[in-house]
Chain A
Amino acid sequence: MSRLKELFERKERNVLNVYCTAGFPSPESTLPVMEALQESGADIIELGMPYSDPLADGEVIQNSSTIALRGGMTLSRLFEQLKEMRARVRVPVVLMGYMNPVLQYGFEKFCADAAAAGVDGLILPDLPPFEFEASYKVIIDRYGLDFIFLVTPETSETRVRQLDALSSGFLYAVSSSSTTGNEKDFAAVEAYLERLKSYQLKNPVLVGFGIKDQDTFSRACKYANGAIIGSAYIKALEGKTEVAAATRDFIRNVLG
């Protein structure tokens, strides 16, 4: 059974998924940050693969990627670092990034190396369902990786169902149709999450974008299986050398 499946069977509510950027805040901080997240109570770690032009992310995550790239982070280096991952990290790990670096690395080699490192799933926001089904699904399946699609408040019911059918692990619900980190009124979001809940989808739903503290986390969890924190955590790491302490303080503030 996949680690994600096992997690959601054990824990249906209040699942906390935290995003971190590989190689941020420093080149060798990837694994220490992941360990700190696990020790602080994160249920899933979404590990960002830095990219020069991250369209679906906001300024905070782009800046962290720029810092990581300046520090010399590449996919090869990341997989080197991840060789030790499963000796130190037990929680499910999902790689998040953009198509171009993955294609240059070689899509199949990427999936093989990710699976070998013990990665559980992939989020590639600029891989749309048509291309996914036509060329990539068969490779992803070959290596037993989960693939997670995004849905937004503008996604129609038909398309939500299509994306749910193509996804495994969980479905990523973007809470407002916006790049990460924007503060939006949560009330409109709640109606959308309630709508998603009424579809009774096959995958658990995690809400991302705009979650930053205990209040937003617990409100998101009312309508979904859990939530994803990205920009707010990256901000908390900015300029920090003691990543373990910074992570502990941040997650404590979210989980209460």
Chain B
Amino acid sequence: MQASYKQPDEQGYYGAFGGAYIPEMLYRNVEELRGNYLKIMAEPSFQQEYRLLLTDYAGRPTPLYHAARLSNKYQTNVYLKREDLCHTGAHKVNNTIGQILVAERLGKKRIIAETGAGQHGVATATVCALKGLECIVYMGEKDIERQAPNVARMKMLGATVIPAKSGSKTLKDATNEAIRDWINNPNDTFYIIGSVVGPHPYPDMVARFQSVISKEIRTQLAEKTGSELPSAVIACVGGGSNAAGTFYHFLDEPSVGIYAVEAAGCGIDTDKSAAATQLGKPGILHGSRSFLMQTEDGQVEEPYSISAGLDYPGIGPMHANLFVTGRGNFLNATDQEALDAAFELAKLEGIIPALESSHALAALKKVSFAKDDNIVICLSGRGDKDMETYMKAMGQ
């Protein structure tokens, strides 16, 4: 039994998951980050700038909203953590603001990132514009086609978007290309990873930057209910950054139920799914050991979800540990269940959620909570980017 579910050990392991399985070409960069990230994050000047940007630039704290009609329908108390109201439209900016300040303090001039749906790419392009740094975003050729508005946003923000043409031409390949770029530019480049994945210390660093979500929930819930601790917290998981942030300050509170919702795609009994804990086995991808969807022969499989942000064959090592230890309850929602939850929220509460967040909302149909329970769901992003999918679902 480890002391904390929140943080990895010195080698970057959450239980049996994590580590830094990187080729020597990345060693110096990763080691530079590992040796400095905690020091930098603890500096008063860093703390001050980070907090100021979160408040005045990103719009934090985001509201904790008591969704009365949704609560009434499910006969429990549902609170929505409104990350959809963050600047750029999702929680991703919490992390990119943090990492750009780390990059700046390490003297890096050139920023690279990977993106799937484009939310992390937009959040990275945004902070690069803010700091006047060069920004290169790798995005799968297929994703570039299906997420045109976010590609345009990144370009307007001054970023260069480079199509990843290898392999399946989606998020995992964009990540491969970003890592190759980093190998080829070992001196001036900083890689801003968008989720709690990658080699140590990335999962820990990203989780710490996203942990502001659960920190705020505790304060806000105490104001509203008199207790800092909800009965349960619920978040969707692709790589798992909004989930890591939502769970973080509750992981070592045994009374709080932890619910992670993966994308089942067409269903976990089909070959079109992205539920890595259900369909994966322990393996190594992008520098860490975690659950990974793969063939018998250890080749990485192509995941599928209606939501590009959950379309990843792995899951962050912190979540893999929550899964195997049983600390987290792992659910999954199909494309259709996520769509239903999105339309329900739109009609009951006047909020159009991102498709990713809709997977978290779908948990309300899968778990029955007591009438006096306080349930917090992370509404990680807004649905503007998904309107085309929603219009299709409405038959337009």
Task: Report which A residues bind B (CB closer than 8 A).
Answer: 51-53, 55-56, 58-59, 62-63, 66, 69, 74-76, 98-105, 125-128, 130-131, 149-152, 154-156, 159, 163, 174, 177-179, 182
Q: Decide yes or no: A154 and B186 within 8 Å by CB, A52-B299, A69-B299 being known contacts.
A: yes
B25 adjacent to A62 (CB under 8 Å): no
B21 / chain A contacts, CB cutoff of 8 Å: 99, 126-128, 131
A58 / chain B contacts, CB cutoff of 8 Å: 180
Minimum CB–CB distance for B120 against chain A, Å: 19
**Can you list 24 A-B pairs with a CB-CB distance of less than 8 A?**
A53-B285, A53-B286, A55-B176, A55-B179, A55-B286, A58-B180, A98-B284, A99-B284, A100-B284, A100-B285, A100-B292, A100-B298, A101-B298, A104-B283, A104-B296, A126-B284, A130-B11, A131-B19, A152-B25, A177-B25, A177-B183, A179-B183, A179-B184, A182-B184
Within 8 Å by CB of B24, from A103, A105, A174, lies A174
Minimum CB–CB distance for B186 against chain A, Å: 5
B23 close to chain A: CB less than 8 A: yes
Nearest residue, chain B, Cβ from A149: B24
A53 adjacent to B24 (CB under 8 Å): no
B283 adjacent to A103 (CB under 8 Å): yes
For chain B, what secondary structure do more than half of its interface residues adopt (helix, strand, loop), or is it mixed? Answer: mixed
Within 8 Å by CB of B183, from A51, A159, A178, lies A178
B300 close to chain A: CB less than 8 A: yes
Within 8 Å by CB of A62, from B166, B186, B281, B298, lies B166
Minimum CB–CB distance for A175 against chain B, Å: 11
Nearest residue, chain A, Cβ from B172: A53
User: Interface readout for B147-187 with A: 1 if CB under 8 Å, 0 if not?
Assistant: 00000000000000000001100001100100110011010
A231–B25 Cα distance when bound, in Å, is 17
A128–B186 Cα distance when bound, in Å, is 18
A150–B183 Cα distance when bound, in Å, is 13
A163–B25 Cα distance when bound, in Å, is 13
A174–B283 Cα distance when bound, in Å, is 26
B56 / chain A contacts, CB cutoff of 8 Å: none
B23 adjacent to A126 (CB under 8 Å): yes
B105 close to chain A: CB less than 8 A: no
A76 adjacent to B298 (CB under 8 Å): no
Nearest residue, chain B, Cβ from A178: B184
B51 close to chain A: CB less than 8 A: no
Within 8 Å by CB of A53, from B11, B25, B27, B167, lies B167
Interface centre among B184, B284, B300 (most CB of A within 10 A): B284
B180 / chain A contacts, CB cutoff of 8 Å: 55, 58, 179
A178–B184 Cα distance when bound, in Å, is 4
A51–B298 Cα distance when bound, in Å, is 8
B53 close to chain A: CB less than 8 A: no
